[in-house]
A and B are shown apart, each in its own frame.
Chain A
Amino acid sequence: MKKNWFAKAAASVTCLAMLVGCGSGGSAGANEITINLGAEPPEMDSILTTSAGSMNVLRHCVEGLVSLDANDEAVPGMAESWDVSDDQKTYTFHLRKGAKWSNGEEVTAEDFVFAWNQHFNARTGAPYASTWMTKIAGAEDIFNATAEKVDPKDEKSDYKMAEADIPKYMEEHAGWKAVDKYTFQVTFTGPFQYAVVLMAFPSFFPVNKKAYDAAGGNNNYGTDADKLAYNGPFTITSWAHEDSIVLEKNPDYWNAENIKLDKITMRMISQETTAINEFNNGSIDMIGLTGDNIKQFKNAQGFDDGGAWYFEFNSKVNPFNNAKVRKALTLGVDAQAMIDTIVKNDSKVATTFTPPAVAQGEFTEYCGDLFKHITNNDYSEAKALLEEGLKEEGLTLAEFSPELLCDDSSAAKQQAEFLQAQLKEHLGVTLNIRQVTYNARLDAMDQGDFEIVFAGWSPDYNDPMTYLDMWVTGNGNNHGKWSNAEYDKIIKEASQIADKEAYYAKLKEAEEILAEECPIGFIYDRQTSYVTSDRLKGVIRTAFQDINLNYAYVEE
């Protein structure tokens, strides 16, 4: 018996030993690439998702009405062409015939109607619905009607509208419809410059109802490779959770002849140093880089990712209700020094609240540098301004020790400590750092439980409005509850202007108010750094697509 055990153990060790050396990894075949996605995409349901990682995968395997090119401009996708009404509010998209879902169904206008209906039905629980419902005719009505409870004061009471009545209500109110099988029409609430480009955002992707129901519907769709239907350049052939997603070329894609890659493997390596080791080993073709790791690579690249980082002041808390105090604290930070010491790439000191990656830089160029007076590193002025402001609020510099809320990532901690040192050195202000988890920081911001928070924002759509409408009174993203009637009026008016020049002129007025009032302190416009292997070509990285490998290719 004992011997038997030993023999078994010895045999299994030998077997395992034979496996050494025939591991996975290593460079892929001719038209195959591997990139690092960085983290497991939480879900791949375009109706629900808010995750940038999920969207990165989705854009390779599901296609909306339009796609984006290297300049973030719209190019035909499922729609071959589109017409715009005279008032620039109604768009009619003409779908290409014969486009197929991976389950064999044809892609029709009904797939868009189904996805949009699900998205704007409040009971689905799609977080992005509240961002988009003000842009699309009827969406807000539908959202509110489906959300309404029998007893509005008791959120636990039943829904007022019966489930069976929803389809009829939707049909009557939705600003989107299938005119026929291949024609999809949508009416926006204003003459938006960004209407067509917006259709490339995953919330507006089509979803095939048959595939959705087969996967188990809401909260089940998109949780595994076989619980998702594809109509894009690639299909997901394997999803090993927390390890990798494998995308293979979709032969049924309408533009398949121009798709050169056969296979893309997206790894989920969260440790940057691990990813760098894999990259140096030649087993990964593209990885992201931050901080000190950037300068390790001579061929590191960067792109403006459209994100901005800034102080958000709680204007409901004394003395941050005082514009002079807010302005002084902004001026007290050397933003370029922050970029050089912490961020370590070509991120830029902000010149407007809207970053240059938005609207192809047209708007920021139109505005010019509106922030000169708060980024000129004139610390004596900053100090005088601070003392003046504090005095108005009945405080002295000695009594003033504001609290900075930040999360517990090492990057956030570094940034907070840098800001602390800057304000001490330049203004003599002692900044207290309150470190909490990322989720707790978001929660504290929502509750208004902060004095200053160092926060970031990434754009949802390619228009300055994605930044500027945040500071309207009552906007859920306006955590500091800053309120300015003039500003509100400008934003409201701007959203109804069809002429681009006039639209920019109006928005510039809003930017000027922000520059003067400083409800937020402007620090920098973020760049994302990455490096690719020499063999990988044709990678598109932009603010509104992040990673686009649809037309990438390999050149050995």
Chain B
Amino acid sequence: MKKYVLKRLIYALITIFVLLALTFVMMHMLPGDPFNTGKAMSESTKQALREFYGLDKPLVEQFIMYVKNACIGDLGVSIKYNRPVMDIILDTFPVSFQLGMFSLIFAVIAGVALGAIAAIRRGKAADTIAMTLSVIGVSIPSFIVAALLQYFIALKLNQLLGTQIFAITGWGNLNQIILPALALSFSSLATVSRLMRTSMLDVLSSDYIKTAKAKGLSERQILWKHALRNAIMPVITVLGPIAAAVLTGGFVVENIFNIPGMGKFFVLAIKENDYTLIAGTTLFYGAFLIIAVLIVDLLYGVIDPRINLASEKE
């Protein structure tokens, strides 16, 4: 097991290095100039700025410098904001992470419950309602959900009740977290519930459930002890991709609820040719996701003891 983790970590490092190298090359190929303000500027001023940010050096030299500095946690200074990229990430990532985790937890709990109920009550009203909800969830993009929630739940409800229940914007309190987390979780919730329903149906018609029934176990015991635990396996496999989607895909929702998360920097840095910010956020997200996937893989082994990670051969 230790050997396996070590091997995976080495692979992760190589992946991050390649990701960084590719990002570095590609971002410098982007059209546009980070120092262009729309007003004419002397070439000497541009030169002074390029020197300050180290952009006057050959790309390879810049890359080596960057990797060296990144190893000691220095991701350079954002060209647009003049603040250290590390400070920006440390300020904003926890916000995006909280938002992502909230919506992930919500998506999994609600999705599993909804899917399970739909499977148990197959063909009945509960099934139809749950599946209709999940179709809607898959087909409506999160920014529309976000805008609707903000308008109807935050603004209109406040106006109706004459008091502030949910905040329209901002971050920090639970009343600022619920709506954006809900909006962000909507499509993952739908995915989880559909997956859960299918897998639960599979399990419910399997032999060991029949055996359990034959043994005379109660309905509840069968569901909780046998069906749910087995049906949840496929859900765990999609947890990695879903976590990645909610943790990096918060930009639109963050934008609508004006949440000071990392999404904005990740997206706008590219438009603004803010090289240090592009490299820093990509590196950080990349490393984060690779490690998250590794953890999910390890978790998989914990939940299903039949899977022996260490003995896997490529």
A interface residue numbers (CB < 8 A to B) = 16-17, 19-26, 40, 42-43, 45, 50, 122-131, 143-144, 147, 155-156, 219-220, 223-224, 240-243, 267-271, 273-274, 277-278, 280-281, 283, 436-440, 442-444, 446, 460, 475-477
Contacts and interface: CB of A to CB of B under 8 A. Distances in A.
Contacts of A130: 40-42, 45
Given A242-B92, A270-B258, A155 B56 contact: yes
A40 B33 contact: no
Given A122-B48, A241-B91, A446-B33, A281 B159 contact: yes
B13 to A, nearest CB: 31
A274 B168 contact: yes
B168 A25 contact: yes
Determine the main DSSP class of A at the interface with B.
Answer: loop
Interface in B39-61: 39-45, 47-49, 52, 56
B170 A274 contact: no
Contact of B48 (A21, A45, A123, A444): A123
B52 to A, nearest CB: 6
A38 to B, nearest CB: 11
A24 B167 contact: yes
Given A122-B44, A155-B47, A274 B39 contact: no
Contacts of B175: 19-23
For the complex of A and B, 6 pairs with smallest distance between CB atoms: A476-B40, A439-B32, A147-B44, A242-B260, A125-B48, A440-B31
B150 interface: yes
Given A242-B260, A274-B257, A24 B42 contact: no
30 contacts: A19-B175, A20-B173, A22-B175, A24-B172, A25-B170, A26-B164, A125-B49, A129-B45, A130-B45, A147-B42, A147-B44, A155-B47, A223-B83, A242-B260, A242-B264, A243-B170, A243-B258, A269-B258, A270-B255, A274-B150, A274-B256, A274-B258, A277-B151, A277-B154, A439-B32, A439-B273, A442-B32, A442-B33, A443-B31, A443-B36
B167 A23 contact: yes
Nearest to B47: A155
Given A439-B272, A442-B33, A24 B158 contact: no
B34 interface: yes
B213 interface: no
B260 A20 contact: no
Given A16-B174, A24-B173, 10 more contacts: A23-B172, A25-B167, A25-B170, A40-B81, A50-B37, A125-B48, A131-B39, A155-B43, A283-B168, A439-B32
A123 B83 CA distance: 19
A129 B46 CA distance: 11
Interface in B117-159: 147, 150-151, 154-155, 158-159
B165 interface: yes
Which of B151, B155, B167: most chain A Cβ within 10 A? B167
A42 B82 contact: yes
A156 B82 CA distance: 23
A270 B261 CA distance: 13
B73 interface: no
Most interface-central of B36, B52, B80 (chain A CB within 10 A): B36
B170 A280 contact: no
A262 to B, nearest CB: 21
A323 to B, nearest CB: 24
A262 B270 CA distance: 39
Contacts, number: 173
Contacts of A126: 45
Contacts of A271: 255-256, 258
A359 to B, nearest CB: 20
Indicate the member of B31, B49, B264 with the most A CB atoms within 10 Å.
B31
A442 B40 contact: no
For chain B, the bracket of interface size reads 35 or more
Contacts of A19: 173-175
A280 B151 CA distance: 10
B85 interface: no
A125 B47 CA distance: 8
B95 to A, nearest CB: 9
A26 B167 CA distance: 9
Interface in B239-277: 255-258, 260, 264, 271-273
Contacts of B167: 23-25
B198 interface: no
Nearest to A121: B48
Nearest to A50: B37
Report which residue of B44, B91, B167, B170 has the largest number of chain A beta carbons within 10 angstroms of its beta carbon.
B44
A144 B42 CA distance: 10
A340 B35 CA distance: 35
Given A122-B42, A122-B45, A442-B38, A280 B173 contact: no
B41 A476 contact: yes
A520 B272 CA distance: 27
A440 B260 contact: no
A154 to B, nearest CB: 11
A206 B50 CA distance: 26
A442 B273 CA distance: 12
Interface in B208-235: none
Given A130-B45, A440-B31, A442-B32, A24 B39 contact: no
B230 to A, nearest CB: 20
Contacts of B170: 23-25, 243
A16 B102 CA distance: 12
Contacts of A241: 81, 83, 88, 91-92, 260
Contacts of B173: 19-20, 22-24
Contact of B82 (A23, A124, A143, A219): A219
B164 A477 contact: no
Nearest to B34: A439
A331 B30 CA distance: 36
A20 B174 contact: yes
B169 interface: yes
Contacts of B34: 439
B77 interface: yes
Contacts of A442: 32-33, 36-38
Nearest to B36: A442
A437 B168 contact: no
Contacts of B80: 42
B176 interface: yes
Contacts of B63: none
Contacts of A240: 260
Nearest to A444: B31
Given A223-B83, A243-B258, A280 B155 contact: yes
A438 B271 contact: yes
A130 B42 CA distance: 6
Contacts of A438: 271
B171 interface: yes
A65 B301 CA distance: 70
Nearest to A17: B174
A42 B81 contact: yes
Contacts of A40: 81
Given A21-B175, A274-B169, A220 B82 contact: yes
A291 to B, nearest CB: 17
B155 A267 contact: no
A439 B39 contact: no
A275 to B, nearest CB: 8
A219 B264 CA distance: 22
A339 to B, nearest CB: 22
A143 B44 contact: yes
